[in-house]
Amino acid sequence: MNLTGFSLNNSRLVMLLVALLTVAGLGMLTNFPSKEDAVVTIRDAVVTTYFPGMSPRRVEDLITRKVEEYIRQMPEVEDIYDVKSATGVSIVYVKVYDSFFDMDQIWTDLRNKMDDVRPELPEGTIGPFVDDEFGDVSVVLVALTAEGFTMAEMRDVARDMQDDFYTIPGIRKVELHGVQSERVFLEISNARLAQWGLSPTELAQTLMKQNIILPGGSVDTGAVELVVEPSGNFESVEDIENVVIRLPSSNQVAYLKDIATVKRAYIDPPVAKVYYDGKPAIILAVEQMETGVNVLDFTPRVEKRVEEWQNQLPIGYQVDVAFYQAKYVAESVNGVAMNLVQTLVTVLAVVMIFLGLRTGLIVGTIVPLTMIVTLVWMRVLGLELHRITLATLIISLGLLVDNGIVMAEEVGRRMLEGEERRDAAINAGKTLALPLLTSTLTTILAFVPLAMAPNVTGEYLSSMATVIAITLLTSWVLANMVTPLNCYWFLKPKALTEEEIQAQYQKPMYQIYKRILTFALNNRIVVLGVVAGLMFGAITLMGVVRKQFMPDSERDQYMIYFDIPAGYGSNAMDRTAVRFLEWLEDEEANPEVTSSIAYVGYGGPRFFQTFGPRAPAANISFILVTTKDFDSIFPSMDRTRDYLAQNMPEVYPRIKTFWLGANETGLIEVRISGPDHDKIYELGQQVEQALRDIPGTDGIYSDWENRVSKVFVDIDQPRARRAGVTSEEIANSLNAFFSGSPITDYREEDKAIPVMLRAIGAERKTLDRLRTVQVYSSARNENLPLTQLANLRTEVMYNQIFRRNLLPTVTVEAKHLWLQAAELEEALSPALDKIMEDLPPRHFWEWGGESENSAKAQNAIKIFLPHALGAMILLMVWQFNSYAKPAIIFITIPLVLIGAAPGLLLTGAFFGFMAILGFLSLAGIIINNAIVLLESIQNEIDAGAKPYDAVLKACLTRFKPVFMTTLTTILGLISLMIPPDPMFFAMAVVISFGLAVGTLLTLVLVPVLFSLFFRVKVEESVAP
């Protein structure tokens, strides 16, 4: 079917459809779903299992291994990684293959597997629990602080705010972070209990029996039925203090407050504390938004509600929006949208300069129309506006305008040569529809490997391939229907005589090109030799181009992994973090810092899609620092690094910027695996030292951390049996003495506050008191000192043991202040080879980090690259009915390296994944130009021209449109290069420099190769 003929015969219908699509697109633009970045499916889950007090080695042997074995039975699981065995806890991270998308069913299967493993775990194991909401992203973080109010009062306000936030349209889940749970502590002294002749068990039993909520039955009076409810539950802390305790040594009684200290306090040691701007805070994290809600519309609703709460709370309370994704979405969307407008204006200006105002406007209408129709299709397909899709629209501008230029040029040329307007439009459509479709499809096929790549980076960038396909196909349809129609209506050129037509090609630009082309055709072997030399030089240059998998982000934030040595408790971590935050919030010391959020003891919520929060641990913290702007983060980071090194040497900081893409940039990892814990730990320490020996290395960290001391209580079983004491009673006595044992609950309104029995602070915080711990013997009804039942010893052990894919694995990571990951790996390799030269059997090491992620992404693209190339070849063979012409085209594609390699070096751009995408785009453009050029040569031959004349004439007639499309593409990408776009700079450089040289090679090398392949004889030309 001839689309151009249909359009001319049904012009009113076509223009009505165009008008409707335009209105629909503009209407959608006002409320188009927007995000900062493309959505990536989080295919990770966390399986956590608890056994309080169990050593890391026993956790590994008795719990972690069994959990791993059952997880490995699932065929969907790619990796079992960051498998942590620490005191009392096993944490297993599960990664599913990127080719799976139905995560709900997979997580259901994982839960079923964990149900299956439960009977094989030791008695007393708590869990395993599966967290499959690990990937939920917080779009807003609201900080609640309150000077002069208690944490309990803050918690009540935060819960009311949480309930209120759920009424905001678009919110699905709001979580509270930093809430410190309350406890009622009964603190006892061994000496005092002995004085009263009491045991901890007797105290606990008395409290449990009195604190009851039980039914007392009902009385049926015949007329009514009365419910009887006995009192007995504690109404206040004073009720607990005044519990009467019967003394076993006499018939006397005593109040509990005379025997133990009763106090209401917060959990000690603290768990998961949060500070906002250095003040204790509760964070309300909007964890998930309903699908289809525009974050730019959603966030103002939250801000309005925050303002309402601030106005109604008492003086002293402060409610702040500590983080909102909409800020970065707006910056990303508005910045790229402005670039899009600039590019659009540039493209239109170039077209009008070269084609004239009337033809320029005709071609120019395709650009905004294509953008608008693309938005309609994006909305239909569920694509959102974000950094990737918007930048893709910029990239596609230079590609899509080619169809309109070629069509308008052809219609105009035919009119100038004397064809009727209608015939010129229809014949142009017939001549160009198929070549333009072929070139459009081949360009789209260049991006197919990206769209189909079974990898998280491919998923992150897959919308690029989809948008490219939409824009180019839309452009092709509009070029075949709207452009000829507009040419028919508005182009009314006067037909030129043969002399006037020939005169057009006498302009300097054409004559220079004709001389170059004539020289090339007369010196084919020389030209091929020069091109081969240039190609060799380009390949050599690529060897010195710096490499970076994905670029860093330009957020005005940075993060601090803030750790102290393993073995320190959460109180020490809290004090250290508070001391640092006092300095960080000092405006004189840190004028760039505008706010900070510190999560003490854990990593907080996920607020950045590709950022995984840290697992809880007593010796870790995570601090998010916001500065005035992007340029402020580097002086602030340097100052923070220096301050910590000089004033807080006990802190192991890792200070990082954010990154674009699915994985952290600049990070190297060395993973050492094997069954011998001591060997791999020793090798890991050697790797750490080798990294320290490289100047500028930063953030060196081993996941096994330092060894710690642990006190073992070796129970003498014969003595314990003679004393009538079980191992369980000894363990319970120790746990109650130091950590506290829950004995009942104190209920206050809707809260149930655990009542904990533990030793007084002076006793439980002193190791010497361990020997005097009293163990209650239920058989003999008396307390016995621990030293009569057990021997004590201290042992140095691993704080935590990590495994990966069923093997113990030490992972050492690092970054560098100025080297990229590949360069740091190269610097480390000599020392690493020496360290690993005598690895024992069944031990191995491997690179992780950026290099591993880069290899995975590139391998994922390679999977479907042969399919895409095969489809391109089939298309071109179908188009030309020839093998030689597709061969000519494919020979020219690699030559774009001649321009791209110097471009990368001159601009300082990195060669990475985005540069690879640039080469894919280049391949599509070069194929596009070559197809139309070869088709033009064949048309001239079919029209009766001699082969040599046909080559010259076709090249001259195609010179202007090819030059124009190249120029529009390059100028359209300038907005991504000046200033450098953080995401697309390398891609724009590759396309611009590669296209500048590639176009010249297309216009020269394609005719040279054609003349060689088809044995075209050099003759005296009669072409213009």
pLDDT in tens, 864-883: 888 888 888 898 888 888 89
Q: Is the model more confident about 499 or about 82?
A: 82
pLDDT interval class at 974 (50, 70, 90): confident
Residues 404-432 have a mean pLDDT of 85
Q: Three-state SS for 624?
A: strand
Tens-place pLDDT, residues 848-864: 998 888 888 888 888 88
Q: Three-state SS for 1015?
A: coil
Q: Are strands 807-816 and 800-804 parallel, antiparallel or unpaired?
A: antiparallel
Rounded to whole angstroms, how far apart are CA atoms 196 and 177? 43
Residues 677-684 have a mean pLDDT of 94
Q: Which residue is associated with the tokens 């195609």? A: 958
Query: For residue 502, what pLDDT is reported?
Result: 66
Helix (H) or strand (E) holding 623: strand 620-627
Tens-place pLDDT, residues 335-355: 767 776 777 787 778 878 877
| 992 close to 977: Cβ distance less than 8 angstroms | yes
Tens-place pLDDT, residues 208-239: 777 665 555 555 555 555 555 455 567 777 87
Q: Are strands 279-280 and 774-777 parallel, antiparallel or unpaired?
A: unpaired
Query: For residue 317, what pLDDT is reported?
Result: 93
Tens-place pLDDT, residues 440-454: 888 888 888 877 877
Sequence letter at residue 771: R
Tens-place pLDDT, residues 916-940: 888 877 887 888 788 878 888 888 8
Query: For residue 268, what pLDDT is reported?
Result: 78
Torsion, Cα 790 794 795 798, to 10 degrees, reads 100
pLDDT interval class at 1023 (50, 70, 90): very low
Range with the poorest average pLDDT among 4-8, 160-164, 716-720: 716-720
Tens-place pLDDT, residues 366-398: 888 888 898 889 888 888 887 788 778 877 776
Query: For residue 292, what pLDDT is reported?
Result: 63
Query: For residue 632, what pLDDT is reported?
Result: 93
Query: For residue 223, what pLDDT is reported?
Result: 57
Range with the poorest average pLDDT among 630-644, 812-826, 1008-1022: 1008-1022
Q: Are strands 273-276 and 279-280 parallel, antiparallel or unpaired?
A: antiparallel
Cis omega before residue 128 (within 30°)?
A: yes
pLDDT interval class at 957 (50, 70, 90): confident
Tens-place pLDDT, residues 730-746: 877 787 777 777 888 87
Residues 400-406 have a mean pLDDT of 80
230: CB partners within 8 A, 6+ apart: 212, 214, 216
Helix (H) or strand (E) holding 320: strand 317-324
Query: For residue 189, what pLDDT is reported?
Result: 79
Query: For residue 213, what pLDDT is reported?
Result: 57
Query: For residue 48, what pLDDT is reported?
Result: 93
pLDDT interval class at 716 (50, 70, 90): confident
Query: For residue 1022, what pLDDT is reported?
Result: 45
Query: For residue 828, what pLDDT is reported?
Result: 95
Nearest C-alpha neighbor of 418 from the set 326, 341, 494:
494
Query: For residue 964, what pLDDT is reported?
Result: 81
Share of the chain above pLDDT 90, in %: 32
Residues 974-1001 have a mean pLDDT of 86
Rounded to whole angstroms, how far apart are CA atoms 799 and 707? 6
Q: Is the model more confident about 670 or about 959?
A: 670
Instruction: Give me the half-sphere count of Cα atoms (radius 13 Å) on the Cβ side of residue 177.
Output: 28
Angle (CA) 163-165-167 rounded to 5° is 85
Give the torsion sign (CA, 941, 945, 951, 955).
negative
Extended beta strands in 703-740, E state: 707-715
Q: Is the model more confident about 97 or about 612?
A: 97
Sequence letter at residue 719: R
Q: Three-state SS for 1022?
A: coil
Tell me: pLDDT of 401 over 80. no
Cis omega before residue 435 (within 30°)?
A: no
Pull the structure tokens for residue 241. 């203090």
Structural domains of the chain ordered from first start: 1-23+356-504 (1.20.1640.10), 44-131 (3.30.70.1430), 182-219+227-266+708-798 (3.30.2090.10), 507-544+882-1024 (1.20.1640.10)
Cis omega before residue 591 (within 30°)?
A: no
Share of the chain above pLDDT 70, in %: 94
Q: Is the model more confident about 605 or about 932?
A: 605
Rounded to whole angstroms, how far apart are CA atoms 961 and 363? 12
Q: Is the model more confident about 211 or about 207?
A: 207
Helix (H) or strand (E) holding 642: helix 633-647
Sequence letter at residue 147: E
Tens-place pLDDT, residues 990-1012: 999 998 888 888 889 999 999 99
- Length of the chain equals 1024
Residues 952-977 have a mean pLDDT of 83
Nearest C-alpha neighbor of 143 from the set 265, 270, 271, 286:
286
Tell me: pLDDT of 419 over 80. yes
Tens-place pLDDT, residues 44-101: 899 999 998 888 999 999 999 999 999 999 999 999 988 899 888 999 999 998 888 8
Range with the poorest average pLDDT among 252-261, 516-525, 593-602: 252-261
Q: Which residue is associated with the tokens 């001319």? A: 8
Query: For residue 1, what pLDDT is reported?
Result: 53
Tell me: pLDDT of 247 over 80. no
